Amino acid sequence: MRRIELRSDTFTLPTNEMRQAMFEAEVGDDVWGEDPTVKRLEELAARKVGKEAALFVPSGTMGNLLSVMTHCRRGDEVVMESECHLYYYEAGGMSAVAGAIPRLVSSENGVMCPDDVKRAIRESNIHYAPPTLLEVENTHNRGGGTVTDIATLSALEGIARERGMRIHMDGARVFHAAHYLGVPVTEITAHVDSIMFCLSKGLSAPVGSILAGTEEFISRARRNRKILGGGMRQAGVLAAAGIVALEQMVDRLVDDHATARRLAEGLSQIPGISVNMRTVQTNIVGFDISGLGMTSSQFAAAVAEQGVHFSTMPPHGIRAVTNRHVSMEDMDFAVETIKELAASVR
């Protein structure tokens, strides 16, 4: 049976070039600072995002947690969007491990209004947790892959600097944001002190993310990585795939934007399906199926029987994430499958 995997771009498989690079990777003990391939990846990654230094970490979740551990003291407050990945999907690590307190800001589709952020940052008071870090997610997962633009980032940076706060970006898909805005990724990262981005999503590496910032920040983050058990030994085997990802896979991300748009436009024509086309900016398509009289779980199970796989956002939300393994023809097949399902239940 045909299989169309749209649950996440984390399902991407390494390319043949990545597999060959992993096979041939020159390795050493990274905890001792002696893995040459890891060093190459970290140097390349730092240059890509315009930062002094970078750290290879096993996952984006660890990268975000390290940013909080490194920027904040225990009991400090992190101002963040109310449905951001760091708050919503990272198992409470920022509080359980880093001891930081979230201060949530509501938004429109994941993009925070600077005025709302300014209001959320409280004045110094013995009763309050000190506001130390502002966290921005770009692109925003639960917002539908939405992008915070340069003007908004600049305004958020100004607010944070005025209050003496640092800024971290969860840029798991930041190269998607750069393509959408039509700017070098460094125009985005210039507004933050640190950034995490994933190698293992649309960039197709099998494992790993990058945390980047100043040399001093990364030096402290490296020690915190050790605390979390993230010190990897001959990690060059994995880093080699990350190098290929950064050298060969960034430019092709626009293809995923095109397939997402094709899917969204097709879905928008189906009675009972609701798509907010304003949020279809990158490679994520969120849609509502409440008009079909089904739950998201029922819908996902029904289309999975035909080989089309979505993730659910209960009770009636569905998420699709396009990636290099799906084509325009796959999107047309998915739309036809859903069209037939919609006709059968109405």
> Do residues 318 and 231 share a domain?
no
* Residue 174, Cβ density class (10 Å: 0-12 exposed, 13-18 middle, ≥19 buried): buried
The last residue of a domain, from among 248, 282, 306 = 248
The last residue of a domain, from among 232, 248, 264 = 248
The last residue of a domain, from among 231, 248, 265 = 248
CB atoms within 10 A of CB 208: 25
Q: Is residue 4 part of a domain?
A: no
Q: pLDDT tens-digit profile of 263-298?
A: 999 999 999 999 999 999 999 999 999 999 999 999
> Do residues 305 and 207 share a domain?
no
> Do residues 148 and 263 share a domain?
no
For the entire predicted model, the pTM comes to: 0.97
> Do residues 232 and 302 share a domain?
no
Q: Is residue 111 part of a domain?
A: yes
> Do residues 117 and 230 share a domain?
yes
CA atoms of 255 and 144, how far apart (whole Å) = 17
Domain span at 323: 252-345
Half-sphere exposure of 88 (CA within 13 A, CB side): 16
Q: Is residue 7 part of a domain?
A: no
Q: pLDDT tens-digit profile of 54-78?
A: 999 999 999 999 999 999 999 999 9
Q: Is residue 60 part of a domain?
A: yes
Number of structural domains the chain divides into: 2
Q: pLDDT tens-digit profile of 114-140?
A: 999 999 999 999 999 999 999 999 999
Residues 6+ away with beta carbon under 8 Å from 39: 33
> Do residues 261 and 135 share a domain?
no
Q: Is residue 2 part of a domain?
A: no
| Domain CATH for 28 | 3.40.640.10
